[in-house]
Amino acid sequence: MIVKTIILARCGSKGIPDKNIIHIHNKPLVSYTISAALKSNANDVYVSTNCDKIANVSKQYGAKIIQRPDSISGDTSKSEESLLHFAQSIYFDILVFIQPTSPLIIPEDINKGLEMILVDKYDSVFSANKEHWIPRWNMDGSPDHWDIFNRPMRQQMPEKYTENGALYITTRKQLENSKLRYGGKIGILEMPFSRSLQIDSYEDLEIIKKILQ
């Protein structure tokens, strides 16, 4: 089985300029996911990017580069477009898709997901953390799917999985058939909340800097 890893890291981050290569403890953000993937059971690690700066940094940390067309690198472009572009260019049996904004991922997470594909015969896997029920509110101030006059106790409500966006694994067949990152028989790779944080804001960045100390 040929296993390839792809990390999507385009130019043009609005919230944090140059987010994918911003430094955390003297290392660029994308290097954390490259390192985890290189230490996993995947065969090769590619960074898909439309940015020469990101490409040069990624190569320094051991990744191969696939040039992503600008037509699928915009703010509204879907990740699946880049995954399918990769599939047209590079052969693989299984594709590991990691987001560079999830630097807390470890090689064991990737290997566990691959085992679910290879041994448990899932067609695709995504990472998630388990979440206890908490009262959520809509932006208009109304309760979101619960009754303010009959507030349930946390213990009465079922736990749910929250997709953490860190890791997706799919077979080539599944990706090409569904054109989606997951489909067919879907497995859930449970990760602890402590490794499920993503960097989408400067506040997230400061929290993760403290975790990675």
Which positions are annotated as active-site residues?
A: 151
First to last CA, the chain: 36
- Cα 179 from Cα 167, distance rounded (Å): 17
Residue whose entry in the numeric block shows the structure tokens 């979440």: 131
Q: Whole-angstrom Cα distance, residue 55 to residue 170?
A: 24
**Residue whose pair of structure tokens reads 């690198």 in the numeric block:** 73
What span, in angstroms and rounded, lies between the C-alpha atoms of 36 and 127? 15
Contacts of 29 (CB under 8 A, 6+ apart): 19, 20, 21, 22, 23, 100, 101, 103, 199
Token pair 């904004």 is at which residue? 101
- CB 170, CB 182: distance < 8 Å: yes
